[in-house]
């Protein structure tokens, strides 16, 4: 059994990830799976954002701002800063990773200004114009009805069937060429496949990624739903971070997760 990661190791992994270290490299360095590294990063991020990290809370200092409008706080990591911004009565949170407090303050102020500009724009859009006290009836002439050339349904159906037959013939030709060449197996089932996919007989794509893990991005809910499947953890993490930012904006923080699963043909 692999040793459990200590809190010190988890913090080091999180900081390395913030500075661009790849998931695969971290997993190799700490002799654990990619999924373990991802869970570690997610755990540390939640601890930072929720303020439950006692060590961080004890050593954090206010760099700029105030509690009423939003603040920028330092953390135990000299290059990481936690910012909040109160807009429309709601507090938004964001982490800033940069060289020093001055640069972090610039980034935080710009972020806050962007949020306030967006809120101001939305307020203008949602604001209703006052109804006129008196208004005279306006005569509106109906627009002329355009003439539409409607084709007979039988003609349309025949053209559609012809197109389907042409596509089926093309698929059969491609499949015949693929099944008749030994290099197809070599190019798709090698350690680094050259071909990512080809057509099946039903016209759909089949992905060849034999004996390797895939990463499933799914939405947490009463009935979990799969959003997508990725061949690399890096691609899955990039997408889950993007989706969780949108989910957080909509009030459903952490709605998406990534899991490493075994690919089955």
Which range among 1-5, 10-14, 113-117, 129-133 has the greatest average pLDDT?
A: 113-117
pLDDT at 6: 85
pLDDT tens by residue, 199-217: 444 444 444 455 677 888 8
| pLDDT more than 70, % of the chain | 71
pLDDT tens by residue, 50-95: 765 555 545 567 888 887 888 888 887 788 888 889 988 888 888 8
CA-nearest of 206, 207, 201, 209 to 174 is 201
pLDDT at 191: 52
Q: How confident is the model at residue 110 (pLDDT cuts 50, 70, 90)?
A: very high
102 versus 150: the higher-pLDDT residue is 102
pLDDT tens by residue, 123-166: 888 775 555 556 566 667 777 766 666 677 778 888 888 888 88
Residues 6+ apart with CB under 8 A from 123: none
**For residue 177, is pLDDT > 80?**
no
Q: In what order do the strands lie in the sheet with 213-219?
A: 225-230, 213-219, 256-262
Residues 1 and 15: their CA atoms lie apart, in Å, by: 26
What the chain holds in terms of domains, given with CATH numbers, is 1-50 (1.10.10), 53-126 (no CATH), 181-262 (no CATH)
* The pTM of the whole model exceeds 0.75: no
Joined tokens for residue 19: 């500075």
Mapped onto helix, strand or coil, the DSSP state of residue 227 is strand
């Amino acid at each position: 059994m692999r040793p459990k990661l200590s809190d010190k190791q988890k913090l080091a992994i999180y900081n390395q990830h913030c500075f661009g270290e790849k998931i695969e490299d971290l997993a190799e360095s700490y002799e654990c799976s990619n999924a373990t590294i991802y869970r570690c990063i997610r755990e540390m991020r939640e601890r930072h954002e929720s303020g439950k990290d006692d060590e961080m809370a004890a050593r954090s200092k206010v760099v700029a701002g105030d509690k009423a409008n939003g603040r920028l706080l330092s953390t135990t990591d000299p290059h990481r800063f936690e910012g909040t911004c109160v807009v429309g009565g709601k507090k938004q949170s964001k982490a800033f990773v940069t060289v020093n407090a001055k640069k972090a303050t610039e980034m935080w102020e710009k972020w806050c200004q962007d949020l306030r500009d967006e809120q101001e724009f939305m307020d203008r859009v949602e604001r209703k114009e006052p109804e006129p006290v008196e208004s005279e009836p306006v005569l509106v002439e109906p627009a002329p009805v355009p003439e539409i050339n409607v084709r007979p349904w039988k003609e349309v159906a025949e053209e559609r069937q012809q197109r389907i037959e042409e596509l089926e013939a093309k698929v059969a030709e491609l499949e015949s060429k693929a099944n008749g060449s030994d290099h197809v197996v070599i190019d798709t089932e090698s350690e680094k496949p050259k071909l990512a996919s080809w057509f099946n007989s039903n016209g759909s794509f089949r992905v060849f990624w034999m004996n390797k893990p895939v990463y499933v991005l799914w939405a947490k809910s009463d009935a979990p739903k799969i959003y997508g499947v990725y061949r690399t953890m890096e691609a899955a993490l990039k997408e889950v971070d993007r989706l969780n930012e949108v989910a957080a904006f909509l009030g459903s923080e952490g709605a998406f997760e990534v899991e490493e699963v075994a690919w089955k043909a």
